[in-house]
Amino acid sequence: MEELHPNTHYQLPPEVEEFRMLARKVCREELMPLEREYLPHPGHALGLKESIKIKNVFGKEISARLEKVSRDTGLWYVMVPEQYGGMGISLLARAVILEELNYCAVPLPVAHVANILYACKGDQVEKYLKPVIEGQKNTSFGQTEPGAGSDPGGMMSTKAVRDGDDWIINGTKMWISMAHQSDFIMLQAVTDPVKRQRGGITMFLVDRDAPGLSIDPKGIKTWHGAAQYVVNFDNVRVPAAQVLGEVGGGFSLGQQWLTIHDRLLRGPLALGKMIRGLHDCIEWSKNRVTFGKPLSERQAIQWKLVDMYVKINALRAMIYENCAKADNGEDVRIQASLVKLTSANWGAECMDEAIQIHGAMGESLDLPYTLFYRLLRHTRIGGGTDEIQKMLIARALLK
């Protein structure tokens, strides 16, 4: 389906195209052959960080081979800056690589590094940042609370009070993905209840085994399968040396994470799945015969394929343009909301159409569409709901 990448006046830089072909090769040759085994397995994680539990599916031998492929090709370090051993590539290149890798349900093990962790300084680099880069530690992001989902700045109740060289933290966080598997939590807490999101929220690196920190062991059961947890902080003492960034700068750090990782890069997460859906639907419609004709000759099916194709090309244009803007240092907060809003909705719509075109086979675990749909439907909520994204975009339009 090279026609999805037509030759036009606009061309990706040659080095970015090389990364695309590398990621495509790894996806098709290493991941796709494993998909039939991966999809029905009850032990793999269905959330947004599936690779953390990939050993549950394939065992040590295959998971180790995939990790070696990832490290040998450099894809393990796709999100890591050059100064920490990464590929030193642009956000545009990262988006293109993620687009290719998200074509398959089987995740390639890579370093899951939140961009805000690069604010680590001093001993934090060796204790937190580098172990995450090398896959030796996992982390989670602690912002959402039971009563402060869409308005974390205004409604956050978790507080941190200075006590000599330490901070004492009290409060509860909810819907914290992968908290139980994390070695530490990037935690937001109110340090100035007057300033709040304007200089009164601080980010802390809190070890999971810190006295007073407890995690609901059962987790929260969600229909999209992600491992979500309630995390309680009861007089948790955290050294001042474990403040990430500056005191009062935690909300801004959180927004940096949301803008890039949880909004803009949700675009390629959806795009790869949408392209896979279109490819499979085209092949299926050519070969599936009903009432004496292949599905591809029926206008109802043709129009569904066209709708998918239009959404794919429009979304790709938005992703590439706004990643390039971010690489140029432009503020893309509103554009990231636009990408998240459209990718979440169009992605789920395309998966729904892919299931419909395939009929009963679309619901089977021989194909990835029920899994893809669950993941993409969740993106209309996680990282800020559709309504929040529309509110942010409307504010920008109306100034």
How far is Cα 373 from Cα 375, in angstroms, rounded to an integer? 5
Tell me the C-alpha distance between 388 and 114, whole Å.
22
Q: 47: pLDDT confidence band, cut at 50, 70 and 90?
A: very low
What pLDDT, in 10s, does the model give residues 165-177? 999 999 999 989 8
The mean pLDDT of 375-384, rounded to a whole number, is 89
Distance CA 190, CA 155 (A): 10
How confident is the model over 190-232, as pLDDT tens digits?
A: 999 999 989 999 999 999 999 999 998 766 656 555 568 899 9
Indicate the domain borders of the chain.
Answer: 2-101, 139-244, 256-398
Quick one: which of 174, 228, 170, 182 has its CA closest to 207? 182
- What pLDDT does residue 2 have? 47
Inform me whether the pLDDT recorded for 245 exceeds 80. yes
Rounded Cα distance, 148 and 154, in Å: 8
Mean pLDDT of all residues in 380-390: 91
Residue pair 158/233 in contact by the 8 Å Cβ criterion: yes
Given pLDDT bands bounded at 50, 70 and 90, which one contains residue 50?
Answer: very low
Q: Which amino acid is at 211?
A: P
Residue % of the chain over a pLDDT of 90: 73
Whether pTM > 0.85 for this model: the answer is: yes
Q: Report pLDDT digits (tens) over 310-326.
A: 999 999 999 999 999 99
Kindly state the average pLDDT of the residues 238-251. 95
pLDDT at residue 147, rounded to an integer:
78
CA of 392: how far to CAs of 180, 270, 344, 348, in Å? 32, 21, 16, 22
**CA 399/CA 395 separation, integer angstroms:** 6
Which DSSP string corresponds to 382-397?
A: TTS-HHHHHHHHHHHH
Q: Evaluate if residue 181 carries a pLDDT over 70.
A: yes
Q: Please give the pLDDT value at position 226.
A: 57
* Distance in angstroms (rounded) separating the CA atoms of residues 75 and 278: 26
Mean pLDDT of 292-304: 97
Fold of the 256-398 domain = Butyryl-CoA Dehydrogenase, subunit A; domain 3 (1.20.140)
Burial 121-145 (b: 16+ CB within 10 A, else e): eeebeebbbbbbbebebbbbbbbbb
pLDDT at 237 over 80: yes
Conformational region of residue 212, where left means phi above 0, alpha means psi within -120 to 50, and beta covers everything else? left
- The pLDDT tens digits of the residues spanning 249-296 come to 999 898 887 888 889 999 999 999 999 999 999 999 999 999 999 999
**Alpha-carbon torsion angle 356, 360, 364, 369, nearest 10:** 0
Higher pLDDT, 85 or 342: 342
Q: Is residue 45 predicted with pLDDT exceeding 50? A: no
Tell me whether the CATH fold assigned to 139-244 matches the one assigned to 256-398.
no
Q: What are phi and psi of 66, to 5 degrees?
A: -65, -40
Q: Which of the four pLDDT bands, split at 50, 70 and 90, describes residue 48? A: very low
pLDDT at 154: 77
Mean pLDDT of 343-349: 97
More confident residue, 5 or 144: 144
Domain 139-244: CATH superfamily, name plus number? Butyryl-CoA Dehydrogenase, subunit A, domain 2 (2.40.110.10)
Top pLDDT among 114 and 100 is at: 100
In this structure, CATH architecture of domain 2-101: Orthogonal Bundle (1.10)
